[in-house]
Amino acid sequence: MSTPLPARPADAPLRHRIHLLLEPDRSQSRASRRVDLFLTFLIVLNVGAVVLESTEPDYRNVPVAYHVLEWISVSVFSIEYLLRFWTCKEFPRFQGRGGRFRYLLRPMSLIDLLAIAPFYVELIASAGGVDLRVFRLLRLLRIARVAKLGRYSRALRELGEALWHRRGELVGSLAVLGVLLFVSSTLIYLIERDQPSKGFGSIPESMWWGIATLTTVGYGDVVPSTGLGKLLGAVIAVLGIGIFALPAGILSAALTEVMQKRREREAARVDGRCPYCGRGPADTDCEATP
């Protein structure tokens, strides 16, 4: 039987308090949820601004509003990035030598960096008198901010967790799909290559028809002209329904498992136990890594 860890004192260090403020799953405090909602709203606002900037009349009418939003957003995201870097030591996984470097290499940390980097690159280039046309494509990388929603949306986090836990089965399903695509494209090429219908001149060309047929989309731009080719197309379309139902079932089962684990963690939190390791009060340190 494990010994409960001692409760953290009321005057916790500032780093720990900021860590709990940025991690709503750990603190469940009202202030943390408000920060969570504010950052989510700011991300959605930024994505909408990037979309509206592509409509030239809208951007030309109110360019100042776009620039103000960009400055505010980058300031907030930069502060958030620095605070997360500072408080990452609160996770046992990132304690010790090299912990901060490992934190910077996490996928979500790289996304956070990608969300603000284009702004600073463009700012430095402008100050140095560099032709900004070279860096205009970098502005499109701001759309990476939508990936930050994965940090603040429970549904997206659970989906990502389900995908990770079932990655082996999903990769196997994709492998079966790839084999079926290659076989169907090869067969339709052998059947239709001498016909006047276009799109079957080679196996790579035939793969466009194979993808459209396997997904049962059927764009109609490439269709077989022989009876045997049409029969093959019907068979491939039916097989495609079954093939795509396989990963859907795997993902559904994985999501059910993830939600069950989340309910167990919430029950542990209500009981006063750590939701990750099951020991001691929920606000103590533990060896588990979320």
Give me the phi and psi of 217, to 5 degrees please: -75, -50
pLDDT for 284 beyond 50: no
Which residues make Cβ contacts (< 8 Å) with residue 55, sequence separation at least 6? none
Of all residues in the chain, what percent carry a pLDDT higher than 70? 76
Q: Residues 49, 141, 21, CA angle at the centre, nearest 5°?
A: 75
Question: What average pLDDT does the segment 5-19 reach?
Answer: 62
Structure tokens at 253: 């089962």
CATH 3.90.740.10 for the 153-290 domain, yes or no: no
Higher local confidence (pLDDT), 31 or 137: 31
Q: What are the sequence ranges of the domains in the chain?
A: 14-152, 153-290
Question: What average pLDDT does the segment 199-223 reach?
Answer: 84
CB 189 within 8 A of CB 200: yes
> In angstroms, rounded to a whole number, what is the distance separating the alpha carbons of residues 236 and 221?
17
pLDDT for 263 beyond 80: no
> In angstroms, rounded to a whole number, what is the distance separating the alpha carbons of residues 249 and 270?
32
pLDDT confidence bin for 1, thresholds 50/70/90:
very low
Tens of pLDDT, residue by residue over 110-147, are: 888 888 888 888 788 777 666 555 555 566 666 767 77
Which residues make Cβ contacts (< 8 Å) with residue 33, sequence separation at least 6? 24
pLDDT confidence bin for 11, thresholds 50/70/90:
very low
pLDDT for 92 beyond 50: yes
Q: Is 14-152's fold the same as 153-290's?
A: no
pLDDT for 28 beyond 70: no
DSSP 286: -
DSSP 144: G
CB 86 within 8 A of CB 76: no
At residue 82, the pLDDT reads 92
SS3 221: coil
Place of tokens 């009202």: 30
> In angstroms, rounded to a whole number, what is the distance separating the alpha carbons of residues 66 and 6?
50
pLDDT for 31 beyond 70: yes
At residue 75, the pLDDT reads 92
At residue 78, the pLDDT reads 92
Question: What average pLDDT does the segment 172-194 reach?
Answer: 88
Q: Which pTM value belongs to this model?
A: 0.60
Alpha helices in the chain (DSSP H): 14-22, 24-27, 30-53, 56-61, 63-87, 99-104, 107-127, 136-139, 149-152, 154-165, 167-192, 203-214, 227-270
CATH of domain 14-152: 1.20.120.350
Among 23-27, 66-70, 216-220, where is mean pLDDT lowest?
Answer: 23-27
